[in-house]
Structure 1
Amino acid sequence: MGAHDDTLSRRTYLKTTGAAAAVGLGGLTGYLDAQSNTLEVQHWWTGGDGGRAISVLFEGFKQKYPDIKVNENPVAGGAGQNLHTVIKKRVLNNNPPSTWQDWPGQNLTPYTDAGVLKDIEQSVWNQGNMKSAYLEGPKRVAQPAGNYVTVPLNIHRLNNLFYNVEVVERAGVDPTSFSKPSDLLNAMRKVENNTDAAGMAHQTQSPWSTLQLWETELLARHGQQAYDQFVNGNVGAVESQVKDALEAVKGYRQYFNDDAGSVDWTQANSKIINGGAAFIHQGDWAAGMYRGQDGFEYEQHWNQVTYPGTDGMYSLVIDSFPFPKNNPSPDATTKFLRYVGSVDGQRRFNPKKGSIPPRTDVPRDAFGPFLRSQMDDFQNSRAQPPSTAHGLAVAPEQLTNVEGAISTFNSTWNVQRTFSQLQRAFQ
């Protein structure tokens, strides 16, 4: 997770790809005859949960298609940023890999604007019952420009509120009774009055944790309509709502851990494990750390509720695999993307990754109790808003600008100034 700055300049992109497009279909036909049976996949899952998850996905794929050679070409580091840079160069040079890990939704607009992603509705999405097995939110982000160009593999949820059970009990607080953000604020006050723990574990060293807390507050206080206005760039139309959510986050600041400015998110999250803080707002990847901690059990030592005010919503953070047009191995890539969208692929990958499948028909036996409860919430959700902080709701250039505004906020806590910057982010 984290920063994602290096965006694709659309003008350069279109210039470079215009020439390629002019070659037209005649050139492509000869090209398809010479297609390779080697599938080149680039991703950033090189260690931890992600590394384990992607290797079992490839194992399953190789069992199904033993004749396809998989050339795994990972690019580590930078929370995916290094991979974004590599892919951008390769696609610009008309030399894309077969497919790569990327956030779907608006994050893919530089590629859809340049016309370099293939419509895979017939070849992939209409195979079997794939389309009917996906809910509306994940299907929508697979079509950033109105047609299917990518396949979501996993879903991480953003609107979780995790807590240390012992700390909240000692403070006399019951998170399951929360219904609105002010309940959380009152609970943090109680925690700090009655225990020596911080109300909320948080990091302000990089902008994304505050950005995702703010976007969740906007949803909690003003609903999805206000959120949609914001991500569509109509920031002025929701000025009071945007500022209200900023004020709320500013109000939480007095309950952050004292070292919020010098720790990263994992160090902040470890305060939930060691009892140094009561609450943390994070995506469900935070639970991976709890799971890996001996003697720190779900429900007994840690638990979570849906972020107060966002009941019925499942905020989406998704990884997907797009299909580039100038593809070195179209047949092998089609088979791989069908597999990424299959019950078998998602059943293997997601329990190891600590995410849930975007398909709603994947058997639950391989998932632990926390992820099973998330699967229930997902299937019963009435809305699945795409995350801003993780690239689904806004284009890369805008995300960089929004992160700049939140960096300002992290250092000044000036609501008016931050709002002006957020407004400019879309201009």
Structure 2
Amino acid sequence: MKLKQIVQATLAAASLLAIPLSGMAAEVEVLHYWTSGGEAKSAAELKKLMEAKGVSWKDFAVAGGGGENAMTALKARVIAGSAPTAAQIKGPSIQEWGKEGVLANIDVAANEGKWDASLPKVVSNVMKYQGHYVAVPVNVHRVNWLWVNPEVLKKAGATAPSNFEEFFVAADKIKKAGLIAVAHGGQPWQDATVFESVVLGVGGAAFYQKALVQLDPASLNSPTMIKAFDTLAKIKTYIDKDAAGRDWNLATAMVINGKAGMQFMGDWAKGEFSAAGKQPGKDYLCLPAPGTEKAFTFNIDSLAMFNVKGADQQKAQQTLANAVMSPEFQEVFNLNKGSIPARAGVSRAKFDSCALKSMDDMDATSKSGGLVPSFAHGMAIDSAKAGAIQDVVARFMNSTMTSQAAASALVKAAKAK
């Protein structure tokens, strides 16, 4: 990651940042990028929870760039010796910050809250550095969803697909009915989102783990990976010509409005259906992406804790960690966000059928080995390698590159530093 080198370029910006001089006995400053409607509501709930516990909340919200702006601000603050109490970080980035020696050990909170018993091991492992908790999970997003408009299926005389053979039959019928079969936004991260679900559906969870998490060269350049690219090439033929640069939520709107039949996207898409007043099971279907019924690609939002000085500040930090893991907060945050609680023991009463399916599938896959980190959403590998693989996928989606050439290119991309 080479944080110190990266941050030299951003130090000039540090002087523009308001570096807090906390005069309060118990205060937490939280850097995050939960700035959209539902997310901001959730952050406000956490603030309320902390203030009820006698801890003052200092909000450090940084909008834009899918978190990139927030990371730039965080790097400047850490180098300036003024790290916030906690920051929204996820996946391998937690380990990268851990190596810098700037994260706080929050095992006291984890032991008090019995986190090991409340979290699937694959989730708790992401929250630890060298065996110690340094971060707390806020939620779990499922990425491998297929969103379907049942009215479009009905018009086309098609049925909801469970595998790729059925998917292409349905896509053909939707296309023949004069509608768009696959709603998509031609942006690299969206291409990568479809790609990882295809790899999972074609190869299964064990292959996905070897190829996109362990970056095994033989798996990356294998007949199974070539078949995955062949499948992706076929999906391309059902995407409309105006997809380039389209935002994901506009693609979701195409499904909502009946202009398109299906979309590969994570469960944040559900927020768009909900905002449009649509009901799951009636107005839209949430299905595991073709062939991925027994697997679950996860994307976890989490707060990493930074070293703070003074017993009062350290105690406030532990209070924050346990507040985030409380069933009360996990419920309200995830009802607003469209995701599901990271921990066990949260009431299911207010969650809809898509969320309940997600909860059941996460529980089942955490026991079966089908729970795997999302490559496309920064949970599986470091950012340099993920970016290089994403570039290969984007090239494949926007050119006549062959499946064999793409699979070979993945091996080289997996060595990126």
TM-score by length of 1: 0.86
CA distance in 2, matches of 1:174, 1:336: 47
Aligned CA distance change for structure 1 residues 418 and 145 (closer, same or farther; 3 Å): farther
Conserved 8 A contact 1:356-1:371: yes
Name the SS for the 1:39 alignment partner.
strand
What's the counterpart of residue 340 of structure 1?
324
1:130·1:342 contact (CA, 8 Å) conserved in 2?
Answer: no
| Paired position in structure 2 for 1:20 | none
In the other structure, the counterpart of 2:201 is 220
Task: Give the one of 2, 22, 26 matched to 1:9.
Answer: 2
What letter corresponds to residue 126 of structure 1 in structure 2? N
Match of 1:398 in 2: 385
CA contact (8 A) 2:299 2:373 kept: yes
Deviation larger for 260-269 or 144-153: 144-153
* Other-structure match for 1:418: 406
CA distance in structure 2 between the partners assigned to 1:14 and 1:336 by the alignment: 27
Q: Match of 1:255, SS?
A: coil
| Equivalent pair of 2:305/2:317 in contact (CA under 8 Å) | yes
**Paired letter, 2:110:** W
The CA distance in 2 between the partners of 1:118 and 1:242, in whole Å, is 40
Q: For residue 29 of structure 1, what is the aligned residue in structure 2? A: none
- Taking the TM superposition and a 5 Å limit, the aligned residue runs for 1:211-290 are 211-230=192-211, 231-240=213-222, 241-290=224-273
AA at the equivalent of 1:192: K
Report if the CA contact (8 A) 2:85-2:307 is conserved. Answer: no
For residues 309 and 412 of structure 2, the distance between their equivalents in structure 1, rounded to whole angstroms, comes to 37
Equivalent residue for 1:98, pick from 37, 62, 85: 85
Q: 1:145 to 1:270 in 2, by over 3 A?
A: farther
Query: Closer, same or farther in 2 for the Cα pair 1:233/1:327, shift >3 Å?
Result: farther
Runs of 4+ with >6 A deviation: none
Deviation of residue 150 (structure 1)?
0.9
In structure 2, the residue corresponding to 1:373 is in which secondary structure?
helix
Matched, 1:313 2:301: no
In structure 2, the CA distance between the partners of 1:406 and 1:93, relative to structure 1 (3 Å rule), is farther
SS in 2 for 1:310: coil
* Residue 77 of structure 1: aligned partner: 64
- What is the one-letter code of the residue matched to 1:385? V
How far is the alpha carbon of 1:378 from its aligned partner? 2.2
**Residue ranges of structure 1 left out of the alignment (5+ in a row):** 1-7, 16-33
Letter in 2 for 1:315: T
Which residue identity does 1:183 align to in structure 2? E
Q: Deviations along 1:268-327, whole A, 9 cap, x unmatched?
A: 111101111111010011010010113x33222111211121122221111001112355
Aligned residue for 1:22? none
- Contact 1:109 / 1:395 at 8 angstroms: preserved in 2? no
1:118 counterpart = 2:104: yes
Q: Is this contact kept in 2: 1:203–1:260, CA < 8 A? A: yes
The AA in structure 1 aligned to 2:337 is K
AA paired with 1:39? V
**What percent identity do the matched residue pairs reach?**
27
Q: How far apart, in 2, do the equivalents of 1:69 and 1:423 lie?
A: 49
- SS of 2:373's equivalent? coil
Distance 1:343 1:124 in 2: 15
Are residues 420 and 93 of structure 1, via their aligned partners in 2, closer, same or farther at CA, if it must alter by over 3 Å? farther
Q: CA deviation at 1:14?
A: 12
